[in-house]
Amino acid sequence: MTSADDPAPARPECPITAEITSRGLIAILRAPTAEHFPAIADTLLDAGIHAIEITLTTHGALQCIRELTAAYGRQALIGAGTVLTAGQARSCVDAGARFLVSPVAAPEVVRTARAAGVAAYPGALTPTEIHAAGRTGAPAVKLFPASAVSPRYVSDLSGPLPGVPLIPTGGISLTGIPAWTAAGVAAVGLGTPLIGTAATEGVDDRLAARCRQALAAVSEGRAAR
């Protein structure tokens, strides 16, 4: 990490992170198959949620990333989740993913992503893990599982670790978003609380309503900072 006196070098992945941060949300799609993901993506984009993470535990994830990237181009930020190895990272980049998310600190994933001009967000929980993840050069760190801590934890970390943007993920409810956002996180990652059963049963009107609620919650939290 650079010192306060040295300007951080411009990196091609930084605009990706800036765009995610401006919206404050990453929608996480995880299911046995990606059958319903295109329809979910349509609804998310219509609602104003542009960062969409396709987890590699989903059968057909790479093909889905290719198809969504081709369909939406720069209109959306299509990324990959549960990326654990450099080989997986290369496959995701080749498929068109613009950001990679890991549940653990995986320096090889960050190196592969940065070489390709793609953002990578390694996972961490403790102060030591978060510091180490930040030192890989990642533009932000996934705080996981967020259910193990609280928004106060983020506030407490901001003193000793002010230069590490955090994206808490795992166990955050829609009603809990304002507290996390007010604590100063860069964005929140939302899976089931946002997507509901749409990933397995298909899209209905409730998904759009949850999207609106989530975006309003981000705005509410930021207004309280």
Q: Is 142 a catalytic residue?
A: yes
Strands (E), the chain: 25-29, 51-55, 77-81, 99-101, 119-121, 123-124, 141-143, 166-168, 188-190
Looking from the CA of 219 toward its CB, the CA atoms found within 13 Å total 7
Question: Is 67 among the catalytic positions?
Answer: no
* Cβ contact 21:165 at 8 Å: yes
List C-alpha distances in Å: 142 to 14, 92, 153, 158: 16, 18, 14, 15
For residues 90 and 212, what is the distance between their CA atoms, to the nearest angstrom? 34
Of 35, 142, 201, 220, the catalytic one is 142
Map residue 188 onto helix, strand or coil. strand
Of 13, 19, 53, 129, the catalytic one is 53
- For the chain, the 3-state helix, strand and coil shares in percent, each to the nearest 5, are 50, 15, 35
Name the residues annotated as catalytic: 53, 142
